[in-house]
Chains A and B, each alone.
Chain A
Amino acid sequence: DTGVSQNPRHKITKRGQNVTFRCDPISEHNRLYWYRQTLGQGPEFLTYFQNEAQLEKSRLLSDRFSAERPKGSFSTLEIQRTEQGDSAMYLCASSPSFLTAPNGYTFGSGTRLTVV
């Protein structure tokens, strides 16, 4: 168990560019989540996958955002036409069902996006 891995750790991009982040969850976890955390705030839910199916999306996830989890393994989060307001830490987490996960989620270290 190597934990949840996120790449890259940091990304600086120019406004209007597209960016893609990757999350590798703990291998036996079928649930995967993306959260966004802006400075001075708590993480906010973006979207949730159970295996390869994207089952819930927050209204925060505008049409410039898309997430995928092909084959129910790793996940990618793409932001198109980035805006300065997209600057944030993007956190990925994975979990089996709470029925078997008393500790809840395992979070990755996040990808910090800076849009200049």
Chain B
Amino acid sequence: AQKVTQAQTEISVVEKEDVTLDCVYETRDTTYYLFWYKQPPSGELVFLIRRNSFDEQNEISGRYSWNFQKSTSSFNFTITASQVVDSAVYFCALSEAQGGSEKLVFGKGTKLTVNP
């Protein structure tokens, strides 16, 4: 069965600090996708990144970066120089490869609070 674990329930930082959100996943599939979503207080899930299991390159997008390591089944997310607008709940998710429903299995989320 697929499972996503986000061990950090809540994190609080001061603006401009760097923060890393951890994600560990379990799957028997050899081909799968990993995602990060942001959920601000408004409730809508905002897509941040998708990574397929064959692409272990780390990715950087502005202040955001992602570290994918298949050896440890981890897909961690780092925000550099955090800002108050980064305050939200962040979800890591896993999906089987195409061919099935491609439904997402989410972790429980990490609530990030960035204080001014």
Contact, CB under 8 Å: A99 / B98: yes
Query: Within 8 Å of chain B (Cβ to Cβ): is A74?
Result: no
Question: Which of A35-43, A63-71, A76-84 touches B?
Answer: A35-43
Interface residues on B, range: 20 to 34
B26-48 at interface with A (beta carbon < 8 Å) = 33, 35, 37, 42-45, 47
- The total of interchain contacts (Cβ-Cβ below 8 angstroms) comes to 64
Closest to A104 in B: B50
Contact, CB under 8 Å: A48 / B103: yes
Contact partners of A105 in chain B: CB under 8 A: 47, 104
Contact, CB under 8 Å: A98 / B108: no
Contact, CB under 8 Å: A33 / B98: no
| Binary interface encoding of chain B residues 87-101 relative to chain A, with 1 for a CB under 8 A from any of its CBs, else 0 | 000010101011011
The 8 Å CB contact of B93, one of A42, A95, A108, is A42
Contact partners of A93 in chain B: CB under 8 A: 45
Query: Within 8 Å of chain B (Cβ to Cβ): is A113?
Result: no
Query: Within 8 Å of chain A (Cβ to Cβ): is B59?
Result: no
Contact partners of B43 in chain A: CB under 8 A: 89, 109-110, 112
Contact partners of B109 in chain A: CB under 8 A: 40-42
CB within 8 Å of A: which residues of B?
4, 33, 35, 37, 42-45, 47, 50, 91, 93, 95, 97-98, 100-109
